[in-house]
Structure 1
């Protein structure tokens, strides 16, 4: 859920707490925030058209996202009466303790948040598979859908995750300058989780 890393605002990561999680954990709100992060500032009407929702629904949920600090006004884009919105930061960090919170509403919001995150990643992949023929041969060759099964301890799994994150982050410094031909935003998904074989 990222915007180009050259904007300072979008380098910031917002830690989720119980209050902000309840404000974000809604499928449409998460889609609105993702769309603003990836596509830049937009109006409620533009977002409604893009997501197949009513502008009344997008307006309401944008106001809720703003109340919890996830989006903010983008007045430099406004011409006329329509309100423009932008993401307030580049991503969120999720604390596993939210899944064990004493409040069942918080636990439910945490569960919904994680499931919607999984749904977003599934949509990303499905969109790529459905549109891959619209991309150049070079981009088709440069995509990947690999998976591996390893035998690891929890400590080794955490070490693997840390190293994958470091590797992906190292490519931010290699990002080509704006205007470099054949440069696109690239989504990288990683999943590490235990599975039973019986």
Structure 2
């Protein structure tokens, strides 16, 4: 594993890189609002990513400190691993703060089901869920909060 990949082998940093890929630039405050957590947490991890030359500060007016990507290696296996780590860490964080969340946000939607599929149907199911979730992206945020949408479909091998 290269030094750059090791720097990305942290779920918070992986989330920051994904957010930067989608938005172009982001401040630690914006990252906290989008991903949950504190701006201090994201500020620390942005500085760590900068230390490895993966992100850089963008000139800005006032106190804002926006960051952008410089050149992050991306392989499907690396991204998949990083996303799973972020999902696991985010869910554990949710469980630890759920009782302190505003009443309207104290529940989640989780289910588990074993279904019998062909490899092609497995791919189709994944694509259908992605398409469904994509319909909720890019909408007005007023009255809404960030929600992690996680689906894992995998064969149960004997």
Match of 1:149 in 2: 114
The correspondence for 1:60, drawn from 27, 32, 51, is 51
What CA distance in whole angstroms lies between the structure 2 residues aligned with 1:27 and 1:56?
11
* TM-score, scaled to structure 2: 0.66
What is the CA distance between 1:136 and its match in structure 2? 2.3
Question: Where does 1:1-80 land on structure 2 (aligned, <5 Å)?
Answer: 25-28=5-8, 31-35=12-16, 37=19, 40-42=26-28, 49-50=40-41, 57-61=48-52, 63=53, 65-66=54-55, 72-76=56-60, 79=63
Query: Are 2:26 and 2:68, in contact at CA under 8 Å, matched by a contact in 1?
Result: yes
Query: Are 1:41 and 1:86, in contact at CA under 8 Å, matched by a contact in 2?
Result: no
CA pair 75-54 structure 1, distance change in 2 beyond 3 A: closer
* Structure whose alpha-carbon radius of gyration is higher: 1
What is the CA distance between 1:159 and its match in structure 2? 0.9
What stretches of structure 1 of length at least 5 have no aligned partner? 1-20, 67-71, 96-109
Cα RMSD for the two superposed structures: 4.0
What stretches of structure 2 of length at least 5 have no aligned partner? 30-37
CA pair 54-116 structure 1, distance change in 2 beyond 3 A: closer
1:140 aligns with 2:106: yes
Which whole-Å deviations, capped at 9, do the CAs of 1:115-148 have from their partners, x for residues lacking one? 333221100100111111122232223x122122
Which whole-Å deviations, capped at 9, do the CAs of 1:10-68 have from their partners, x for residues lacking one? xxxxxxxxxxx96753255653352362893149xxx995169699745412x2x14xx
CA pair 152-93 structure 1, distance change in 2 beyond 3 A: farther
Which whole-Å deviations, capped at 9, do the CAs of 1:77-136 have from their partners, x for residues lacking one? 565xx9641357xxx9854xxxxxxxxxxxxxx4x5533332211001001111111222
Which whole-Å deviations, capped at 9, do the CAs of 1:129-175 have from their partners, x for residues lacking one? 1111122232223x1221221111001111111111111111226x2
Which whole-Å deviations, capped at 9, do the CAs of 1:166-189 have from their partners, x for residues lacking one? 11111226x2x34x23x2111111
Query: Are 1:75 and 1:84, in contact at CA under 8 Å, matched by a contact in 2?
Result: yes
Match of 1:120 in 2: 86
